[in-house]
Amino acid sequence: MRLVVVTCSIDYKGRLQAHLPSANRLIMVKTDGCVAIHADTRGAYKPLMWMNAPNRIVENEESWVITNPKGEHLYITIEEILSDTSFDLGDDPGLQKDGAEAHLQLLLADNPDVIEEGLSLTRREFPTNIGPVDMLCRDSNGSAVAIEIKRRGGIDGVEQLTRYLDYLNRDPKLRPVRGIFVAQEITPQAKTLAKDREISFVEVDYEELQGMESNVLRLF
C-alpha cells in the first residue's frame, strides 16, 4: 500500500463531473490498483473520491492522471508532496463472519429457493481478486447471480456487492451477472441504494430457515 500526503486539487470526469479545490489530502493507492482520496475533516470514514481497480495511473511531478476501462478520469493537480510512503501489508485473512452470519449462509446455500424461486447454487465463497462472493448462483434462465449475505444489511453491504458485480461482469464466461443482497434485516438506506444500483434485496427469517414457524420472509 502506498500513502501519499499532498497539497492538491482534484477533478473527476465520468458519470458526472466533480471538483475538489486545493487542500491537504491523503492519496491511498492499494496493491490491487484501487485509488482513494481522503480528508482529515468532518469525521468521514469514506473517501472524498475514489476509483476501483483496474486503473491506469500516469504520474509526473505536477499531476496524476488515473483512468479505468469504464472511461472515468481522475485528475490530481499536485502543488506539494508532503509525504510518500509505501508499506507491504502482506496477505490478509479476510473478514471472519460471526457464527449466526456464517450459519445463515450455510442455510441459504442449502435452500437457495428461499432467496429466489429457481435459484441453484454454483459455489459458496466464490473467489475473486477483491474477495470471496458469499454465493454465486444460476437463476432459472441460467444467468449468473452474485449474492451477498449479512445479518443486518446496511449501505456497506450494498457497496461491497456493487464492487463484486463490477468485477464479475468483466468475465465473459459469467456476464451478465446480477446481484441479490440478503439479510435478516435491511436498513431503509440500504434498500434505497440497492434500488439505485439495480440490485435486488431479500429479507429472510433466520428462525424460519432453522425450521421454526414464522411468516416474516419478504421478497422485494
Q: Are 209 and 202 in contact (CB under 8 A)?
A: no
pLDDT number for residue 170: 92
pLDDT at residue 94 in the model = 56
**pLDDT in the model for residue 16:** 83
Confidence bin at 216 (pLDDT 50/70/90): very low
* CATH of span 2-86: 2.70.180.20
Task: Output the CA–CA distances (angstroms, integers) from residue 9 to 12, 40, 71, in the order listed.
Answer: 10, 15, 20
List pLDDT tens digits, range 153-185: 999 999 999 999 999 999 999 989 999 999 989
Tell me the DSSP string of 9-50: EEEEESSSEEEEEEEEEEEEE-TTS-EEEE-SSTT--S-SEE
Higher pLDDT, 213 or 206: 206
Q: How far apart are CA 194 and CA 181, in angstroms?
A: 8
99-219 adopts what CATH topology?
Trna Endonuclease; Chain: A, domain 1 (3.40.1350)
Cβ contacts of 75 within 8 Å, gap of 6 or more: 10, 11, 12, 13, 63, 64, 65, 66
Reported pTM: 0.56
Q: Where are the domains of the chain?
A: 2-86, 99-219
Query: How would you class 109 by CB atoms within 10 Å of its CB: exposed for 0-12, middle for 13-18, buried for 19 or more?
Result: middle
pLDDT at 97: 52
DSSP summary character for residue 176: S
Sign of the C-alpha dihedral computed for residues 25, 29, 30 and 33 taken in this order:
positive
Q: Which residue has the cell 431503509?
A: 188
Once rounded to an integer, what is the mean pLDDT over residues 105-115? 89
- Give mean pLDDT, residues 195-210: 87
Please tell me the distance from the alpha carbon of residue 25 to that of residue 4, in angstroms, as a whole number.
8
- Judge whether 100 and 140 are in contact, CB under 8 Å: no
Grid coordinates belonging to 169: 461482469
